[in-house]
């Protein structure tokens, strides 16, 4: 999810945990805990953009890492905020917020490495778009009112319950929408006699009622949009041949022409496109890597409709 969503969820949750005893100060460790797994974005300063596509939402978003984060964060918070709140309660707040981060991130189609470093499998449930204003709106309003409105603690706590419940209800609505769209897609595929290998349904940007659909059938993709409010007859697909070899040749030719006119390419290039859309770059000269992997990676990602892929040294 987007950073704003993690911030408001963290602040809102921490307010419910400790706001009654230490006031708005509780929001600070809450925001830190909720955003800490995104520490991996710092890797973008040391890796090429294509590699960063894979490392983001990797180890720091795993159950292994958040266990360490929770113990360290809870201890530091306990030492920093002098109150009668016990270390165990701070630990529960940290683990809840860290879990909420990696659970929320798993709801969009980027993919997340829950089991790193023991498994590189990416988890993705394709329920929410990465930034959904209607999900973030309610806790954001709660935080604004709590900070700006001089009301009693009981009123603020009740407001916190309402705000968090509203987001949970909207999330439940999104799960129902997912089921509705999947049912529509399966019905239309069966009606049209399309024996698919797999399909992907994911929300279009900033809402949850219009969904993007990708169907994989051998070397062919079918794409389209499905609405929760329209009947099955409105769902139509556009067919695209995959043509792996053609797209690789054309992308490479364009990159060489536009970027490498003054360089002599002597290295052997090996770029096989394997099952699932993963691409491997084995032998590009190091001096080309600052720009080449990004452009080729983006082209392949857009073409193969893959959530993400890795660039291996």
**pLDDT higher than 90, residue 185:** yes
What's the chain's length in residues?
Answer: 313
**Closest C-alpha to 11, from 156, 114, 202:** 156
Residue 292 binned pLDDT confidence (cut-offs 50, 70, 90): very low
Strands 210-217 and 238-241: unpaired
CA distance 30 to 217: 45
Q: Which range (63-77, 107-121, 209-223, 285-299) has the least confidence?
A: 285-299
pLDDT tens-digit profile of 32-61?
999 999 999 887 777 766 667 677 889 999
Q: Which range (173-187, 203-217, 288-302) has the least confidence?
A: 288-302
Place of tokens 């400790």: 18
pLDDT tens-digit profile of 266-276?
333 333 333 33
Per-residue tokens: 41: 């974005």
pLDDT at 69: 96
pLDDT-above-70 percentage for the chain:
75
pLDDT at 24: 86
Per-residue tokens: 308: 């993400």
Residue 64 binned pLDDT confidence (cut-offs 50, 70, 90): very high
**pLDDT higher than 70, residue 236:** yes
Per-residue tokens: 201: 């349904």
Residue 189 binned pLDDT confidence (cut-offs 50, 70, 90): very high
CA dihedral for 105, 71, 52, 241, sign (positive or negative): negative
Q: Which range (70-74, 183-187, 286-290) has the least confidence?
A: 286-290
pLDDT at 47: 72
Which range among 68-82, 134-148, 190-204, 214-228 has the greatest average pLDDT? Answer: 68-82
pLDDT tens-digit profile of 103-133?
999 999 888 999 999 998 889 999 999 999 9
The answer to whether residues 64 and 116 touch, using CB atoms and an 8 Å cutoff, is: yes
Work out the average pLDDT over 200-227.
91
pTM exceeds 0.85: no
pLDDT at 257: 53
DSSP-derived 3-state class of residue 97: helix
Residue 228 binned pLDDT confidence (cut-offs 50, 70, 90): very high
């Amino acid at each position: 999810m987007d950073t704003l969503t993690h911030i408001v969820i963290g602040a809102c949750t921490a307010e419910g945990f400790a706001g009654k005893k230490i006031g708005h100060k509780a929001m600070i460790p809450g925001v830190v805990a909720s955003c800490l797994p995104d520490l991996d974005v710092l890797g973008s300063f040391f890796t090429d953009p294509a590699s960063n596509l894979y490392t983001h939402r990797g180890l720091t978003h795993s159950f292994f890492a958040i266990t360490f984060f929770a113990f360290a964060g809870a201890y530091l918070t306990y030492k920093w905020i002098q109150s009668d709140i016990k270390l165990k309660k701070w630990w529960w707040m940290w683990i809840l917020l860290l879990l909420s981060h990696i659970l929320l991130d798993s709801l969009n189609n980027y993919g997340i490495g829950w089991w790193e470093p023991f498994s590189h499998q990416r988890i993705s449930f394709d329920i929410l778009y990465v930034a959904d204003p209607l999900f973030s709106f309610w806790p954001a309003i709660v935080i604004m009112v709590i900070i700006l409105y001089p009301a009693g603690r009981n009123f603020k706590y009740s407001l916190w319950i309402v705000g968090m419940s509203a987001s949970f209800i909207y999330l439940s609505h999104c799960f129902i929408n997912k089921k509705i769209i999947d049912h529509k897609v399966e019905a239309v595929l069966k009606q049209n006699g399309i024996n698919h290998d797999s399909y992907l349904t994911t929300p279009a940007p900033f809402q949850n009622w219009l969904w993007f659909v990708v169907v994989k059938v051998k070397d062919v993709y079918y794409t389209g949009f499905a609405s929760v409010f329209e009947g099955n007859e409105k769902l139509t697909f556009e067919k695209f041949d995959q043509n792996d070899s053609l797209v690789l040749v054309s992308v490479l030719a364009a990159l060489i022409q536009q970027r490498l006119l003054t360089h002599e390419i002597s290295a052997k290039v090996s770029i096989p496109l394997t099952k699932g859309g993963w691409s491997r770059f084995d032998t590009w000269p190091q001096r080309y890597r600052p720009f080449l992997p990004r452009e080729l990676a983006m082209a392949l990602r857009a073409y193969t409709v893959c959530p993400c892929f890795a660039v291996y040294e």
